[in-house]
Amino acid sequence: MSETLAIIGRPNVGKSTLFNRLIGRRLALVANEPGITRDYRVEKLNIKNHSYELIDTAGIEELSKDNISKITKDSSINAIKKSDIILFVVDSRNSLTPDDYSLASLVRKSGKKVILIANKSEGASIKQGEIDSYSLGFGDPLSVSSEHNLGISELQNQIVDNSSQKLEFINDKDNRKKIAILGRPNSGKSTLINRLVGEDRQIVGPEAGLTRDSIPLFFEMNSVNYQIWDTAGIRKKSKVSEHAEKLSVMSSLNAAEESQIVILMIDSERGFEKQDANIANIIESEGKPFVVAVNKWDLVKNKKDKKSEIEEKIEEFLPQIGKISIAYISAEKNQGIDKLILLSEKLDKVCERRLSTSELNEFLKQILNKHPHPNKNGRPVKIKYITQPKVRPSHFIVFSNYPNFIKDSYKRYLINEIRKEFNLDGVPIRMDFRGSDNPYNLEK
């Protein structure tokens, strides 16, 4: 097994910047304010043909008594327990704080190997925090600047030197199904994640907006391996003012872009509202299919009426996507989750469907006989041929003698008919019109 490294430190010492620097990608959210990271993130790290699991954690504030700090502390302690080597980060520019010393005691009690890192050490002078860090009892601090890529090579060498297992990295093909969960704040996304992965990985609580970063996690169900992203709740654009929340929304959209299937989570007590439709339209614009998960279904009294209300609203707000798959679940009570994943898997298979040219053109022939395109200024608009060059999203190219004359209403008509004929409900469809004398010449 790969060894696990956990980056530990109080808030705003640069843990996420160090995480991104080691991974080589900007994955963790970074901002010039404390408390951006809340859930811990795990990514593969490869150093000199060795493979590690690298954990970015929330900053631990021992003296803070608020609920979020307590939850994030528990999450970080869990990461310490999982780790083989701890990368203990302090801010070299400032004197150590009571939180630094309290956290050092916690790390010491864990009995894990420790690499002490004095971050933000750019510049020639010795910083106060670097001097203070000798008193922590973890040996000489390693001076680095994560932001300026200074001392990172030496840190990588120390990680390898502290490894007890010398495992060569094998770059296996990633065959996991990739799912992102999007929705408004406090709809239950993190609770569902915890159910799927089988442990309390994501912090949950009554406060809205606990999740900020989009964290990829892994689980197996029905002999299928999944990678799933928990994401920050997306509020109305007019209500998003804080820089941290704007970063969180961008991270959520990036997770949707990386995924193959999206689960749109809604709160059953609130029903399907305009903001849910806005999120659905964002997902569809990314070309991603989605399943709606109606959460907290165990709290609904009159389920029959509520179900009709929700389904009518979805049909009203999202007529362009066809009949959308809906699962009524309770993440808290672990109800309906198997059905949700089965619906996601079914939709994933539909997205892979590539229609043959012959069946598409037989379909087109029937459509044109039933409802041809109207003439334009007395000239007949002929639709000659249709083909499907790619999937995800399903993309169709239609050839016509006057492609610029095709009405938007007729384009919507063709898309709707394709959906019905070939059972592509819930699948985003793209359709382009081109002119060509020879419909088989796709480059023309």
Burial environment of residue 77 by CB neighbours within 10 A (0 to 12, 13 to 18, 19 or more): middle
Token representation of residue 351: 């997205």
Q: What is the mean pLDDT of residues 108-123?
A: 90
Please answer whether residues 88 and 119 qualify as being in contact, where contact means their C-beta atoms are separated by less than 8 angstroms.
no
- Report helix, strand or coil for 174: coil
How many other β-carbons are positioned within 10 Å of the β-carbon of residue 277?
Answer: 16
Question: Does the residue 77 lie in any domain?
Answer: yes
Helical residues (DSSP H) of 174-223, grouped into ranges = 189-197
Question: Does the residue 251 lie in any domain?
Answer: yes
Same domain, 108 and 127: yes
Same domain, 221 and 323: yes
Handedness of CA 252, 254, 256, 259 (dihedral sign): negative
Question: Does the residue 73 lie in any domain?
Answer: yes
Rank 135-144, 180-189, 295-304 by mean pLDDT and report only the highest: 295-304
Distance (Å, rounded) from C-alpha 49 to C-alpha 56? 21
Nearest one of 179, 246, 180 to 209, comparing CA atoms: 246
Same domain, 288 and 305: yes
* Domain final residue pick, 162, 185, 205: 162
- Report helix, strand or coil for 326: strand
Please give the residue range of the domain that contains residue 417: 357-434
Same domain, 314 and 378: no
pLDDT tens column, 225-258: 998 887 766 755 544 444 444 455 565 677 777 7
Same domain, 306 and 422: no
CA angle centred on 353, ends 350 and 359, rounded to 5°: 125
Token representation of residue 62: 């021992």
HSE at residue 186, side-chain half, CA atoms within 13 A, is 8
Q: What is the mean pLDDT of residues 178-183?
A: 89
- Report helix, strand or coil for 344: helix
State how many domains the chain has. 3
How many other β-carbons are positioned within 10 Å of the β-carbon of residue 23?
Answer: 17
pLDDT tens column, 367-398: 999 999 988 888 888 898 999 988 888 999 99
State the pLDDT confidence band at 343, using cuts at 50, 70 and 90: very high
Question: Does the residue 443 lie in any domain?
Answer: no
pLDDT tens column, 426-441: 899 999 998 865 444 4
Same domain, 341 and 195: yes
